[in-house]
């Protein structure tokens, strides 16, 4: 029985150890975020040396903590886009950053606190990416009044938080408009072609929420504007990280006659592209130019409704470095502010007929000028 007890104990210890390390924040330059509480106590005079050794003589212009959304890096859309903002800021301002990729909503608060508490380095700004961080940040902003935060996709009403939201419905309107103009005509490009006798589009969402419904609302409004008879099929997979479900949802839509499916579902969207390739139809990407980030599907991606998550990340860091951090403000970025836009696919976007592209460009002008107002929630 001794051996048995030993094996059990080893197993339990192993599990505990695994659970402990699988949740830690990952960063490029060592585990500073996790180790800092103990380290800072005994290295008061050594602290500056270690930081200095890691960087140039002057030290970083700012230390930034990134807490990503649950999709994780490598999603080819939302989180990668946010990361490109901080990387750009690193090049331009010489800041340093650490990253945390939470697996689930419950970990947001932990990582936010870890960054806020850390004193080696002392983070000047913590970027919280994604609307799911709202609750934990509302609490933490109050608990750490001296820490500056910024949040993307939600508004936290606190003096030390800068909130950035996007007018996704404006960009999605253009996607819907393009889709409905194409679905009624005979169109083929790359690996896809439309079925001329059906006027149907599809929308695949991730977790059903006010945010994703903005995409849906704009897409539906744009589709109706292009052609009143266009039907928009809608499915929410309930997850941003389930490509298999995205594929089934999109397959069902293509089988029902949808020509073009627009997704706002993070990683789940990979399955949508897969289904488009299998069905020989089209898809519209989201957040980034996905015909480039997911280039194996470039032959079916007509375009992408990009959401420049890097803009607020970069902007917040820039203002922090310049000492004019917009704490307590809520900024909304639309087509006019270059926060969202519709970009055409890298390989087949140029095949979109000029008449369609012109109409989309006109609608874009009209939205910017305020002549078209796009609804924010689906009917």
Partner 1 sequence: MSDAPAEAPGTDAEAGSDPDPDSTPNAGPLGSRSNRELIAWAAIGTLAALLLGGAAFPNTILGVLADVITDKDTLSAALRLSVPIAFAALGGIFSEKSGVINIGLEGLLIISAFTAIYVTDVTGGIWIGFGGGVVASTLLALLFAVVTIEFRADQIIAGLAVWLIALGLAPFASQVIYNGPNTPTVGTTGSIYVPVLAEIPFFGALFSASPSVYMLFVAVAASWYVFERTAFGRWIRASGENPKALDTAGVNVSRVRYVGILVSGVLAGMGGSALSLDLGQFTGNGPTMVNGKGFIAIVAYLFGNYNPIGAFLATMLFAGLDAIQTVLQLQGIGLPRQLIRIIPFVVVIVVLALVGRTRLPEAAGDHYESGEE
E strands of the chain, at which residues? 63-67, 96-100, 125-129, 148-152, 161-166, 188-189, 192-193, 200-205, 231-236, 260-264, 282-287, 301-307, 330-333, 340-344
| Structure tokens that stand for 225 in this block | 């504007």
Helix orientation angle between 269-279 and 243-255, rounded to the nearest 10 degrees: 40
For 208-231, the DSSP string reads -SHHHHHHHHHHHHHHHHH-TT-E
Q: Where are the beta strands (DSSP E) in 130-190?
A: 148-152, 161-166, 188-189
Nearest distance, CB of residue 21 and partner 1, angstroms: 7
Q: Is residue 296 close enough to count as binding partner 1 by CB under 8 A?
A: yes
Shortest distance in whole angstroms from residue 164 CB to partner 1:
23
Q: Is 73 in the site for partner 1 (CB under 8 A)?
A: yes
Q: Is 15 in the site for partner 1 (CB under 8 A)?
A: yes
Q: How would you classify the pairing of strands 301-307 and 340-344? A: antiparallel
Q: Is 2 in the site for partner 1 (CB under 8 A)?
A: no
Residues in 217-236 at the binding interface with partner 1, rule: CB under 8 A? 233-236
243 binds partner 1 (CB under 8 A): yes
**Residue among 244, 332, 350, 375 that touches partner 1 (CB under 8 A):** 244
Which residue, 247 or 364, has its beta carbon nearer to partner 1? 247
216 binds partner 1 (CB under 8 A): no
Asked if 106 touches partner 1 (CB under 8 A), the answer is: no
Residue range at the interface with partner 1 (CB under 8 A); choices 32-40, 71-79, 165-173, 299-307? 71-79
* Contact by Cβ (8 Å): 297, 276: yes
Q: Which of 189, 201, 249, 340 binds partner 1 (CB under 8 A)?
A: 249
**Is residue 271 involved in binding partner 1 (CB under 8 A)?**
yes
Q: Residues touching partner 1: how many (CB under 8 A)?
A: 53
**How distant, in Å, are the alpha carbons of 3, 148, 200 from that of 116?**
45, 9, 48
Strand partners, 359: none
Decide: is 26 part of the binding site for partner 1 (CB under 8 A). yes
Instruction: Note the Cα 350 to chain centre separation in Å.
Output: 26
The stretch near partner 1 (CB under 8 A) out of 129-137, 162-170, 253-261, 298-306 is 253-261
* Sign of the torsion angle spanned by Cα atoms 269, 234, 221, 168: negative
What residues line the site for partner 1 (CB under 8 A)?
Answer: 3-4, 7-8, 11-12, 14-15, 18-19, 21-22, 26, 70-76, 80, 101, 103-104, 202, 208, 233-236, 238-239, 241-245, 247-249, 251-253, 255-256, 267, 270-271, 274, 278, 294, 296-297
């Amino acid at each position: 029985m001794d051996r048995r007890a030993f094996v059990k104990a080893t197993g339990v210890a192993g599990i505990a150890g695994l659970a402990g390390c699988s949740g830690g924040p990952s960063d490029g330059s060592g585990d500073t975020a996790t180790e800092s509480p103990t380290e800072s106590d005994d290295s008061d005079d050594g602290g500056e040396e270690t930081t200095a050794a890691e960087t140039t003589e002057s030290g970083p212009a700012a230390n930034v903590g990134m807490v990503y959304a649950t999709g994780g890096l490598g999603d080819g859309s939302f989180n990668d886009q946010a990361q490109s903002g901080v990387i750009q800021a690193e090049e331009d301002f010489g800041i340093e950053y650490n990253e945390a990729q939470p697996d689930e909503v419950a970990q947001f608060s932990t990582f936010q606190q870890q960054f806020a508490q850390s004193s080696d380095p002392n983070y000047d700004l913590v970027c919280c990416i994604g609307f799911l961080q709202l609750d934990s940040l509302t609490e933490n902003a109050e608990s750490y009044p001296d820490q500056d935060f910024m949040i993307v996709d939600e508004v936290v009403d606190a003096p030390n938080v800068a909130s950035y939201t996007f007018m996704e419905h404006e960009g999605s309107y253009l996607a819907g408009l393009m889709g409905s103009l194409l679905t009624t005509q005979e169109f083929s490009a790359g690996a896809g072609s439309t079925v001329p006798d059906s006027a149907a589009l599809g929308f695949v969402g991730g977790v059903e929420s006010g945010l994703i419904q903005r995409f849906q609302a704009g897409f539906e409004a744009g589709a109706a504007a292009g052609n009143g008879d266009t039907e928009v099929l809608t499915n929410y997979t309930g997850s941003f990280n389930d490509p298999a479900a995205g594929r089934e949802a999109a397959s069902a839509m293509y089988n029902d006659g949808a020509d073009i499916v627009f997704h706002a579902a993070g990683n789940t969207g990979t399955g949508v592209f897969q289904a488009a390739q299998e069905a020989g139809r089209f898809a519209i990407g989201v957040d980034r130019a996905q015909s480039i980030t997911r280039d194996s599907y470039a032959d079916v991606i007509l375009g992408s409704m990009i959401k420049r998550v890097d803009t607020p990340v970069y902007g917040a860091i820039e203002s922090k470095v310049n000492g004019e951090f917009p704490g307590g403000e809520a900024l909304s970025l639309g087509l006019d502010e270059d926060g969202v836009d519709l970009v055409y696919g890298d390989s087949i976007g140029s095949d979109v007929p000029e008449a369609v592209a012109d109409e989309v460009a006109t609608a874009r002008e009209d939205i910017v000028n305020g002549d078209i107002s796009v609804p924010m929630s689906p009917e």
